[in-house]
């Protein structure tokens, strides 16, 4: 969006490397969320260790980005769009790292799950997981294309994530009510549901940071919220 | 951040300046608020110094220079033939890039202006002006015991504050600063910037600077000049976080040309 490059080539390279690392981080986070959700849906306990281990790469990238941003701030005292890119990259990288952590937490809950979970329960988790994955993919694409309209669209769509979260929570409640022995499993599933929803919140944070990067202004007003449970 | 509704001290309207056949400023329209710092930025030769030299009619001394259009201070046209340039410059002090104390004592550097403008009749009145001016320029404590030493014996930063004190000695309303820190080290620069913060409570300040960081630190309003034209004027906050014009953005982010 800045058009012509910086007169100082190394500045240009530093900003490019920052962008590349953020994109790489986004792509890793997307994979982690997808694999964590697949592990839940298929109750695939074998994939858990790999997902837990891969979270380290995301954390490592966040540390690299933190370091790069400190350097850019000290060396370049970035102004205008460069300042906004720098600040937004810092915030987005932290949101991505948190999404990575949530993917890891989701995966960890798979091990105690039984393989015969009710279809309705699996179905509601799949719908919620699919929507969050779609939101993540779209926000990363919007970042690449610097799309203001997409950032607003994604920000607003978190309402649907909230609605699907409530439906999934209801399914977990039904599962618990059907047999009190399900308490432990239901607790794990509530955490899984809540973690997917939290990932959705971080995606809307990313949409907000992206909007600020593009417009130099903050998205105003309260985000639309889904209906509360049992309403 | 919205620009506050401040009183306009200086208003340039359709200002054009020519050096012989070459036009240096094109149709400049700019409002400078009272008791605020306005920073003018832009690449070398963009016309920002030419512009501030119009405010105290310094361009009058250049034979081939022709100024047309209007500059009003408190609503009065300064290019009017009836305006006494000496009186105008009493109202509008100027500080230059390189400190230029007179080859006189510290005391006489400050007393010179009040003497030629007839501002003090008695020695104690003059002593008072010298002390007050040096205090306002945050130099008094450093020089009060050596007022008879040459101004040129001071450090660069002190010399620049002496020049500011000299400008203040005739009680101006506006202070023009043309890259006042470009010859100073960071500590001396910080002292001048601290002083600018203090002075803006009482004076209207226009500063030309090549340092973006300085413009951000000291000013409330910033104007970006390019090739004799004013490209964008807005609150300093807006200019450096989210300028409206691509050319402004390219300049302040180091993408120019």
The model's pLDDT over A216-230, given as tens digits with 9 standing for 90+, comes to 999 876 666 666 554
Return the CATH number at A92.
1.20.58.220
Q: CA-nearest residue of chain A to B239?
A: A80
SS (H, E, C) chain A: CCCCCCCCHHHHHHHHHHHHHHHHHHHHHHHHHHHHHHHHHCCCHHHHHHHHHHHHHHHHHHHHHHHHHHHHHHHHCCCHHHHHHHHHHHHHHHHHHHHHHHHHHHHHCCCCCCCCCCHHHHHHHHHHHHHHHHHHHHHHHHHHHCCHHHHHHHHHHHHHHHHHHHHHHHHHHHHHHHCHHHHHHHHHHHHHHHHHHHHHHHHHHHHHHHHHHHHCCCCCCCCCCCCCCCC
- Regarding an ipTM greater than 0.90, the answer is no
Task: From chain B, pick out residues whose CB is under 8 angstroms from the CB of A3.
Answer: 246, 250, 255
Is position A47 within any domain?
Answer: yes
Q: Which residues of B touch A (CB under 8 A)?
A: 212-213, 216, 239-243, 246, 248-250, 252-257
pLDDT at B184 (0 to 100): 87
Check CB contact under 8 Å for A84 and B255: no
Asked if residue B1 belongs to a domain, the reply is no
A230 touches chain B (CB under 8 A): no
Whether A80 has its CB under 8 Å from any CB of chain B: the answer is yes
Closest A-chain CA to B256: A7
Q: Chains A, B: CB contacts under 8 A, how many? A: 49
- Do residues B100 and B183 touch, judged by C-beta distance below 8 A? no
Is A64 inside a domain boundary? yes
The answer to the question of residue A80 being in a domain is yes
Give the number of domains in chain B. 1
Residue B158 in any domain: the answer is yes
Task: Report, as an integer, the average pLDDT of A103-110.
Answer: 97
List CB contacts (< 8 A) between A84 and chain B: 241-242
- Residues from chain B that touch A8, judged by Cβ atoms under 8 A, are 254
Subunit contact A77:B212, Cβ cutoff 8 A: yes
For testing the chain A interface, which of B216, B254, B257 should be mutated: the one with the most A CBs within 10 Å? B254
Distance CA A196, CA A128 (A): 7
CA distances from A18 to A3, A83, A86 (A): 17, 13, 8
Task: Confirm whether B219 is domain-assigned.
Answer: yes
Nearest CA in chain B to A8: B254
Contact assessment for residue B57 and residue B94, using Cβ atoms and an 8 Å cutoff: no
Higher-pLDDT residue of B206 and A115 is: B206
Query: Do residues B255 and A2 lie in contact, with contact meaning Cβ atoms separated by under 8 Å?
Result: yes
Query: Looking at beta carbons, which residues of chain A come within 8 Å of B1?
Result: none
Per-residue pLDDT of chain B (257 residues; tens, 9 = 90+): 445 578 999 999 999 999 999 999 999 999 999 999 999 999 999 999 999 999 999 988 899 999 999 999 999 999 998 999 999 999 999 999 999 999 999 999 999 999 988 888 899 999 999 999 999 999 999 999 999 999 999 999 999 999 999 999 999 999 999 999 998 899 989 999 999 999 999 999 999 999 999 999 999 999 999 999 999 999 999 999 999 999 999 999 999 75
Does B257 reside within a domain? no
Partners of B105 in the β-ladder? B150
In chain B, DSSP assigns E strands to 8-19, 22-33, 37-41, 65-73, 76-77, 92-95, 174-178, 204-208, 221-226, 229-235
Tell me if B210 is assigned to some domain: yes
Q: Chain A: nearest CA to B248, how far in angstroms? A: 9
pLDDT score for B183: 87
A7 Cβ under 8 Å from any chain B Cβ: yes
User: How far is B130 from B140, CA to CA, in rounded Å?
Assistant: 9
Is residue B162 one of the residues assigned to a domain?
yes
Residue partners of A91: CB distance under 8 A and separation at least 6:
A205, A206, A209
> Is residue A2 predicted with pLDDT exceeding 50?
no
- Whether residue A150 is contained in a domain is answered as yes
Give the number of domains in chain A: 1
CB contact under 8 A, A6 and B255: yes
Q: Which residue of chain A comes nearest to B245, CA vs CA?
A: A80
Mean of pLDDT over chain A: 93
Using alpha carbons, select from A61, A149, A46, A179 the residue that is nearest to residue A107.
A46
Kindly state whether A3 is in contact with chain B, defined as any CB-CB distance less than 8 angstroms: yes
Nearest CA in chain B to A80: B241
Domain that holds residue A138: 9-215
For residue A230, is it within any domain? Answer: no
Q: Token pair for residue B59? A: 């361009």
CATH number of B97's domain? 3.40.50.300
Among B256, B219, B257, residue whose Cα is nearest residue B238 = B219
Nearest to A7 among B213, B246, B255 (CB): B255
The pLDDT assigned to A44 comes to 95
For residue A231, pLDDT over 80 is answered with no
Instruction: Look at residue A26 and tell me if it is in a domain.
Output: yes
- Cβ–Cβ below 8 Å for A84 and B257: no
* A13 within a domain of the structure (yes/no): yes
Distance separating alpha carbons of residues B139 and B144, to the nearest angstrom: 8
Distance from CA of B44 to the nearest CA of A (A): 16
- Quick check: B241 and A216 CB within 8 A? yes
Q: Residue B213: its chain A contacts at CB < 8 A?
A: 77
Expressed as residue numbers, the domain containing B111 is: 8-252
Domain contains A121 = yes
Write out residues 102-141 of A within 8 Å (CB-CB) of B: none
Write down the pLDDT at residue A229. 53
Region of A4 please: left (phi>0), alpha (psi -120 to 50) or beta. Answer: beta
Nearest to B241 by CA among A74, A86, A147: A86
């Amino acid at each position: 969006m800045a058009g012509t490059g910086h007169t100082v080539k190394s500045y240009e390279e530093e900003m490019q490397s920052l962008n590349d690392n953020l994109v790489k981080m986004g792509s890793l986070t997307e994979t982690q969320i997808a694999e964590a959700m697949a592990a839940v849906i298929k109750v695939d306990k074998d994939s858990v260790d790999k997902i837990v281990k891969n979270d380290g790469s995301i954390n490592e990238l966040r540390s690299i980005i933190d370091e790069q941003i400190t350097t850019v701030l000290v060396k370049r005292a970035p102004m205008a769009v460069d300042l906004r890119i720098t600040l937004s990259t810092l915030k987005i990288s932290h949101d991505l790292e948190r999404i990575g952590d949530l993917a890891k937490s989701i995966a960890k809950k798979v091990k105690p799950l039984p393989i015969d979970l009710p279809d309705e329960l699996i179905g509601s988790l799949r719908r919620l997981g699919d929507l969050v994955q779609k939101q993540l993919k779209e926000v990363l694409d919007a970042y690449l294309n610097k799309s203001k309209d997409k950032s607003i669209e994604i920000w607003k769509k978190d309402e649907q994530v909230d609605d699907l979260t409530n439906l999934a929570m209801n399914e977990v409640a039904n599962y618990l009510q059907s047999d009190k022995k399900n308490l432990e499993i239901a607790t794990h599933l509530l955490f899984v549901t809540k973690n997917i929803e939290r990932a959705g919140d971080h995606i809307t944070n990313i949409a907000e940071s992206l909007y600020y990067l593009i417009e130099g202004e903050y998205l105003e007003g309260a985000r639309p919220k889904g209906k509360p449970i049992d309403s | 951040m919205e620009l506050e509704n401040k009183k306009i001290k200086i208003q340039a309207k359709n200002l054009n300046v020519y050096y012989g056949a070459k036009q240096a400023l094109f149709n400049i329209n700019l409002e400078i608020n009272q008791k605020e710092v306005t920073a003018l930025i832009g690449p070398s030769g963009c016309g920002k110094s030419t512009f501030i030299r119009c405010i105290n009619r310094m361009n009058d001394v250049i034979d081939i220079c022709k100024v047309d259009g209007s500059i009003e201070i408190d609503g009065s046209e300064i290019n009017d033939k009836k305006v006494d340039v000496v009186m105008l410059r009493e109202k509008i002090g100027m500080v230059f890039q390189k400190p230029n104390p007179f080859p006189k004592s510290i005391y006489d550097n400050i007393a010179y202006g009040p003497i030629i403008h007839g501002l003090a009749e008695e020695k104690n009145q003059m002593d008072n002006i010298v002390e007050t001016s040096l205090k306002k320029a945050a130099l008094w404590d450093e020089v009060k015991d050596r007022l008879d030493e040459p101004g040129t014996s001071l450090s660069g930063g002190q010399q620049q504050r002496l020049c500011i004190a000299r400008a203040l000695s005739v009680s101006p309303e506006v202070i023009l600063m043309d890259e006042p820190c470009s010859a100073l080290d960071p500590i001396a620069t910080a002292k001048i910037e601290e002083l600018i913060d203090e002075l803006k409570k009482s004076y209207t300040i226009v500063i030309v600077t090549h340092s973006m960081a300085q413009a951000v630190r000291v000013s409330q309003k910033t104007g970006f000049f390019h090739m004799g034209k004013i490209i964008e004027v807005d609150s300093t906050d807006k200019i450096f976080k989210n300028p409206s014009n691509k050319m402004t953005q390219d300049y302040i982010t180091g993408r120019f040309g």
